Structure 1
Amino acid sequence: MIHYHGTPVSGTRTSVVEFLRGRHALVPFPRRDDLHLVAEMCQSFVFDNGAFSVWKSGGKLDVKGYLDWCFEWRRHPGFDWALIPDVIEGTEEDNDALLADWPSDIRGVPVWHMHESFDRLAKLANEWDVVALGSSGQWSSPGSASWWQRMDEAMEAVCDEHGRPPCRFHGLRMLNPKVFSRLPLASADSTNASMNAGSLDRFGIYVPPTAGQRAAVIAAKIEAVNSAATWSRV
């Protein structure tokens, strides 16, 4: 499983380099601050269209600007893929229309939102080699009891009798070992390491001196855990 850590990362540029070295990163379109460091220091990286931030703020996604950005970076050897623009609480028709407009020369990954039908999930999984799973609607909080019930139903709908998924799944905001260790994910992302590097209380009295070191400790503990090989029915 690939653990993609969300950027930007707080701290000095030296501490950011310290954290990014040899890791995998997710770079959001609205916050490209660390992109050139990511491109130099990380093993690989993916692009996030910023739909979640736009949804939270009530703004509008600059689809053309995002496409231009993806086109510029698509040939970098560390570039894995880009999330195709999506409307987090939009209709299936809204999101299918955005998929239809995605250019074939940029490796894109569609998003299935948990409020959407399992038929759409199955369709995406049969047509794309990677599908991102996005928490939305009443299931917007990964790891909650209702979220797990919905996720179990989704896996039941698309996995085979051995619990194997039909494609590679990416978990959006699911880089929590308590979450991804129970799911057959090929990759997942979160901003856990970068966001919590400033939370000194979590380290007790033995606090690493720099933000980069603290983020690296958090990331290393996450990376020590792998995803499930198959989905186990509960």
Structure 2
Amino acid sequence: MIHYHGTPIGGTLTDKARFLVGRHALVPFPRQDDMGIVAEACQSFVFDNGAFTVWRRGGQLDTEGYYRWVDDWYRHPGFDWALIPDVIDGDEEANDALLRDWPAHLPGVPVWHLHESIERLERLASEWRTVAFGSSGQWRNPGTEAWWQRMRTAMAAVCDDQGRPRCRLHGLRMLDPQIFSLLPFASADSTNAAVNGGSVSRFGMYVPPTAGQRAEVIASRIESHNSAGAWVPSNQIELSI
């Protein structure tokens, strides 16, 4: 699977370059600080429209500005895809309308929110090459038992009888080995390394001296794990007991 690390990365320009070289990055529309380094140093990158930040803080997403930004970059050889704008806790009609507005020539990935219907997930999986899973509503916190119950239902709908997904799956804010190692994800993302690289307490008495080095340790630990080759419900159930 591909491990996309959210940017911006803390530290000096040297720290950022050292961390990002050879890795995969997710760049959010509201924080394009590291875009130049990402384009030069990363194996590949994806774009996040910033809807999660808008949802948390209030405000309105500049969809036209986002379209222009994606249009400027999608020809870059490292560009994989961009998340299509969405309303995190919006209804299905609103999110389907945003899918219809997406410029057809841009490589886009729709988001299925866990509070939305399973029927919408099945439809997206039949129409798109990749579908992103976004935690929302009563299932906004990945990894809880309620969240896993919802994911079991979703996996049953989107996978065949051998546990193989009908399209490529991406986990938003799911770059946790305890989550993605149990799911047949093609990719996942998080800002874990960027955010927690600044946390000294996380490392106990043996603390790497700089935020960049701490982020490197976190990312390397994450990347040592792979996603599941297929959905096997019993594996997750046994782990949660």
Deviations along 1:131-174, whole A, 9 cap, x unmatched? 00000000000001100000011101221110111000000000
Q: Distance in 1 between matches of 2:130 and 2:17?
A: 29
Partner of 1:131: 131
Deviation at 1:233, TM superposition (A): 2.1
Deviations along 1:26-81, whole A, 9 cap, x unmatched? 00000000011110110000000000000000110000000000000010000000
Letter in 1 for 2:34: D
Q: Distance in 1 between matches of 2:159 and 2:145?
A: 21
Partner of 1:18: 18
Partner of 2:107: 107
Partner of 1:207: 207
Q: Distance in 2 between matches of 1:183 and 1:141?
A: 16
Q: Secondary structure at the match of 1:31?
A: coil
Q: Secondary structure at the match of 1:124?
A: helix
Q: Distance in 1 between matches of 2:205 and 2:17?
A: 25
Partner of 2:231: 231
Partner of 1:192: 192
**What is the correspondence of 1:27-38 to structure 2 with a 5 Å cutoff?**
27-38=27-38
* CA RMSD between the two structures: 0.7
Query: Unpaired runs of 5+ in structure 1?
Result: none
Deviation at 1:121, TM superposition (A): 0.3
Question: Which 4+ runs in 1 deviate beyond 3 A?
Answer: none
Q: Distance in 2 between matches of 1:22 and 1:208?
A: 21
Deviations along 1:165-201, whole A, 9 cap, x unmatched? 1000000000000000000000000000000001112
Letter in 1 for 2:167: C
Q: Secondary structure at the match of 1:15?
A: helix
Q: Distance in 1 between matches of 2:213 and 2:79?
A: 25
**What is the correspondence of 1:154-173 to structure 2 with a 5 Å cutoff?**
154-173=154-173
Letter in 2 for 1:106: L
Partner of 2:238: none
Q: Distance in 1 between matches of 2:108 and 2:120?
A: 17
Letter in 2 for 1:87: V
Letter in 2 for 1:199: S
Percent identity between the aligned chains? 68
Partner of 1:87: 87
Q: Distance in 2 between matches of 1:18 and 1:24?
A: 13
Q: Distance in 1 between matches of 2:113 and 2:129?
A: 17
Q: Secondary structure at the match of 2:59?
A: coil
Q: Secondary structure at the match of 2:233?
A: coil
Q: Distance in 2 between matches of 1:116 and 1:44?
A: 30
**What is the correspondence of 1:39-54 to structure 2 with a 5 Å cutoff?**
39-54=39-54
Q: Distance in 2 between matches of 1:88 and 1:203?
A: 33
